[in-house]
Chains A and B, each alone.
Chain A
Amino acid sequence: MIHKQVVNHRQIAWLVGSVLMTGMMISFLRSVVQVARMDAWFSQILPIFYALFIAYVLSGLVEAYPGKNIFEILFIIGGKWIGGAINLLILFYIWIILAIDIKGAADFLHILLLPTTPLEVILLVFVLLMMYYGKTSLEVAARVNEFYFPLYFIMCISLYFLLVNEYNVERLEPILTSSLNRIVVSNFLPVGVYGDIFLMGAFLHAIVEPRLFYAAMKHGVIIVGFGTTIMLLVLLGVMGFTIAGRLNFPIYILVQQIHITDFLDRVEMILFSVWFPAFTIKVIVAYLAFLVGVGSFGGQRHYNTFNAPCGWFIVVSSIFAFPNVAHIDQFISYSLPLIVLVFQLPLAIFLLIHVRGKNKGRVQSLIPEGTKLYQFYRSMVWITTVCLSGCVIVILIGDFLKDKSAVGGGTTAIVYIALLLIALLTSYGEMQALNHGKQKLGRAKQAGSFRQ
């Protein structure tokens, strides 16, 4: 796809949100609840920091190698053989994400919604949809996502109100009484899912403004952290950790608990019809990243010719790799975080060191220093950093107070949520400030234009 595409900062933020958030909702949250019990909703803060680190590295790569994607960059840095080997590992990693998501969604649909439809047929239909989008580009997925992701996010937040009659805050108490070890481990498990932000590396060649790209991804990551925390709060408040930790599809069962009135039945179908397109966008982004990676081995960016062979391969290989949903759950919960920390993190650190050297001395600012907009932007950056760091400090203080004061737990919980919410708002402010600065510099037409 050589033609020019336009994906703006908001679309990037929401794409990141969709990529990271929708996949978690099938069965992953069960393992987090099993580990941290009623304190599982404190499990998103370290993964947020991890995803921000990856976003920072990716934006550094854009600055150092404008117009190149991660596969091309690795070929440049590592040469044909070493770069090729690392790219093969990245392709394998993307294939794992695809196989997990496609097979997980097919199993979920087969078990809960379409029990008489053969699993392979569900899988095939899903892959055909993916192949249809494979003929297009990231722009189309971003525009579809712009419609569904806000609805999905509002749906997640509105669950609290829809389930208020089933909610009991006592199921969350005593707050922060799990050992700190449990909370730390529960923060380790979602790193695997947050590592999916690496998929954006396949589209770096289409990005013009690295700082705005980073701010957009940062906002997307914080949306995910906040949304998932709220989902976990609702899940634990409605079901308690004992039940939530034993269900294969906890969020689906949670949504089934909505009983607003007697005549409004099966609300979960309405909510499911919003989740499914948002989840499909995540899979499409992963598939496009896979095609871009395969295209880099094929020596070109036209990935249309690889669409059919890759699609057929993914249908059979996903069945081959993960025969049932229990294997997928086990893999996402325990193997994926390890793969991310053993493979993705060292690669990101290596790339960071490399781009630090390459970007030395470059000054890149979308906002002229000393202006009111610049002051606003700096304050937004600082408040976001302080709030996110404050979340970690609040957990540590809560752990210190756990044997001393019952009120302490409640207070730390409220402060934690408030800090996350402020970080969400200020990260939006940071992104908007950069966008205004970009437009004032007269780069409105150039910046945000994605070529693929």
Chain B
Amino acid sequence: MIMNRIFLIFFISMLLLSFGEFIMKRKGMDGRQQRVIAIFYVLTIFCLFALQFQYYQVLPTSNLMNFLSPHVKRWVDQFV
């Protein structure tokens, strides 16, 4: 899936803006709070990166989420 360029520009600029705001305000924040926010930014950048380079096709995450579904479906089919 190739992402829409307008979306990318808009999304990355908003991401940078809120990250900048976090950097500016982080001194007034609790340490735990800072860590939690940093984790979310790292995860967001990781997912965006993986989407850009089609890593989700190399390791299909939907299959990971859905790995139980075929087993349950088979069980349902057998049961009915």
Residues of A within 8 A of B (CB): 35, 96, 118-121, 124, 179, 181-182, 185, 188, 294, 297-300, 305-306, 308-310, 312-313, 315-317, 319-324, 327, 330-331, 333-335, 337-339
Q: Is B23 an interface residue (CB 8 A)?
A: no
A324 to B61, CA, bound (A): 11
Which A residue's beta carbon lies closest to that of B8?
A120
With contacts A118-B6, A312-B15 known, is A306 near B69, CB below 8 A?
A: no
Instruction: Please indicate the chain B residues that have their CB under 8 angstroms from the CB of A313 in the complex.
Output: 40, 43-44, 47
**Within the complex, what minimum Cβ distance (angstroms) separates B2 from chain A?**
10
B80:A334 contact, CB within 8 angstroms:
no
Which B residue's beta carbon lies closest to that of A99?
B65
A420 to B24, CA, bound (A): 56
A10 to B7, CA, bound (A): 40
Number of interface residues of B (CB under 8 A): 41
With contacts A297-B36, A305-B29, A309-B40 known, is A124 near B47, CB below 8 A?
A: no
Instruction: Please indicate the chain B residues that have their CB under 8 angstroms from the CB of A331 in the complex.
Output: 65-66, 69
Q: List 15 A-B contacts (CB under 8 A).
A: A185-B79, A185-B80, A298-B32, A299-B33, A305-B29, A305-B37, A309-B41, A313-B43, A319-B1, A321-B61, A321-B62, A322-B65, A331-B65, A338-B68, A339-B68
A320:B41 contact, CB within 8 angstroms:
no
Which A residue's beta carbon lies closest to that of B21?
A308
Question: When the two chains form the complex, which single residue of A119, A182, A316 contacts B80, counting CB atoms closer than 8 Å?
Answer: A182
B65:A309 contact, CB within 8 angstroms:
no
B66:A330 contact, CB within 8 angstroms:
yes
Which A residue's beta carbon lies closest to that of B39?
A309
A320:B37 contact, CB within 8 angstroms:
no
Instruction: Please indicate the chain B residues that have their CB under 8 angstroms from the CB of A181 in the complex.
Output: 79-80
A35:B80 contact, CB within 8 angstroms:
yes
Instruction: Please indicate the chain A residues that have their CB under 8 angstroms from the CB of B41 in the complex.
Output: 309, 312
Instruction: Please indicate the chain A residues that have their CB under 8 angstroms from the CB of B47 in the complex.
Output: 313, 316-317, 319-320
Most A CB atoms within 10 A — which of B14, B41, B73, B76? B76
With contacts A118-B7, A334-B73 known, is A316 near B68, CB below 8 A?
A: no
A53 to B51, CA, bound (A): 40
B1-20 interface with A by 8 A CB criterion? 1, 3-4, 6-7, 10-11, 14-15, 18
